[in-house]
Amino acid sequence: MTLRSIDPTTGQEIARYEEDDAATVRAAIEVSAATWEDWREVSFDGRAGVLRRAANLLKAEARSHAELMAREMGKPIAQGMAEAEKCAWVCRYYADHAERFLSPERIASDAADSYVRFDPIGPVLAVMPWNFPFWQVFRFAAPTLMAGNVGLLKHASNVTGSALAIENLLLRAGLPEGAFRTLVIGSGGVADVIDHPAVRAVTLTGSEAAGAAVAARAGLRLKKAVLELGGSDPFIVLDDVDVAAVAREAARARTINAGQSCIAAKRFIVLDPIADAFEKAFASELDALTIGNPLDEKTEVGPLARPDLVEDLERQVERTLEAGARLVTGGHRVGSTGSFYEPTLLSDVRPEMAAACEETFGPVAVLIRAGSDEHAVKLANGSDFGLGASVWSGDSARAERLVPAIEAGCVFVNGIVKSDPRLPFGGVKRSGYGRELADFGIREFVNIKAVVVE
């Protein structure tokens, strides 16, 4: 089968890649397993040297990587350069801290000595999405490689060029051949990779359906899985905020990467006393955004990554309007070519409407009114998802009092939800399980080994 890469700005094919056959995939896994036997013995300093060189390359080549992202999936070039530099950050972070995170921990017991070791487990498969084609991979690769494991990457088919560029960059940084390998396969080939006895675990960032399929297959083979799935993040606005300032942040939170982010704010839950003012200010901020070619430095909102994503978004908006919501701004495609959609605000939205209860993967925001702080939290929790949430208030103590009741893997007070190498990242409910990043993330794929000396 041939994998095709289509420029979402023009709709034109920019590259095609022949899928690896079953024999090639098996051989790649076996090379990775053999490479792991040597890589696990490399010192932390040796592994860190590779990641620091990778960080230097990411920073030096940020623009070319950003241009590739723009062509493959439509990310505005400024956002792509920031993504490449964030990848450099995660490489340096684990180069600096992995040895401490994985140092043996002594635990008092009735033995002469007892402690816990954190040992590598072997090849780990990563099934990654297209929306952050470099960051999603490096936030897996940096801790995995520093732990002494090796990585196998099945990237989204439309960003195969990014996948191969990442593999090439790591090789140029000094990573041994086979320690990180891109498998050029479609989703149909994932089960066979999980089944291979040399593959010890799998991590996936993607849709609920993909997560359920991977988890089921990994469970069948008794292999660990970490899942980072969808989100419908609430953005709670209390009635003591600076409305104009928070509306600016709301527009940014919803439209980064054209709204194609699991942790983008999607449900804007606003207390009644300021709801009308916030709606007006929010719509004005959305209208002011520059839509256009992602290779143009002035562009703030690029195209969606594929035509079918625009069609899905259109249907969600139509069903929400048919159910009684009100269109405040946007709501239409832009231009006759490419996969562009206007930043859109829907108001008078109820929790059961499509754009509120489903994940919207594009620049569509819904405004839901709340009668009190407690009502706002109830609305925030009225979702199958639980990835991130934010609470905005002129009184941070008031906002923090709501945090324990919010069902999410992370809660930001007066800030946009984002992933940070220093903090654990992941969700609850149908947003998945397990954690990435920080010390929690690097310990997901190690053997937590108790050692007792009598």
Q: Supply the residues annotated as catalytic.
A: 228, 262
Helices (H) and strands (E) in the chain, counts: 15, 22
User: By three-state DSSP, how is residue 415 classified?
Assistant: coil
Is residue 423 packed enough to be buried (19+ CB in 10 Å), middle (13-18) or exposed (0-12)?
middle
46 backbone φψ class: left, alpha, beta (φ>0; ψ -120 to 50): alpha
Is the distance from CB of 195 to CB of 202 less than 8 angstroms?
no
Question: What is the rounded CA–CA span in Å between residue 306 and residue 99?
Answer: 41
Cβ contacts of 87 within 8 Å, gap of 6 or more:
55, 58, 134, 135, 137, 138, 139
> What is the number of other CB atoms lying within 10 angstroms of the CB of residue 184?
22
Question: What is the rounded CA–CA span in Å between residue 367 and residue 270?
Answer: 7
Separation in Å, CA 133 to CA 40, 341, 348, 376, 451: 27, 21, 35, 34, 40
Q: What is the largest CA-CA distance in the chain?
A: 75
User: In 120-189, where does DSSP find H-type helix?
Assistant: 135-146, 160-172
Place of tokens 């023009």: 10
- Per DSSP bridges, beta strands 326-329 and 224-228 are unpaired
Is the distance from CB of 413 to CB of 399 less than 8 angstroms?
yes
Question: What is the rounded CA–CA span in Å between residue 332 and residue 127?
Answer: 32
Q: Taking the CA of residue 113 as centre, how many other CA atoms within 13 Å lie in the half-sphere pointing to its CB?
A: 8
Task: With residue 97 as reference, give the H or E element that holds it.
Answer: helix 77-101
Is the distance from CB of 395 to CB of 348 less than 8 angstroms?
no
User: By three-state DSSP, how is residue 233 classified?
Assistant: strand
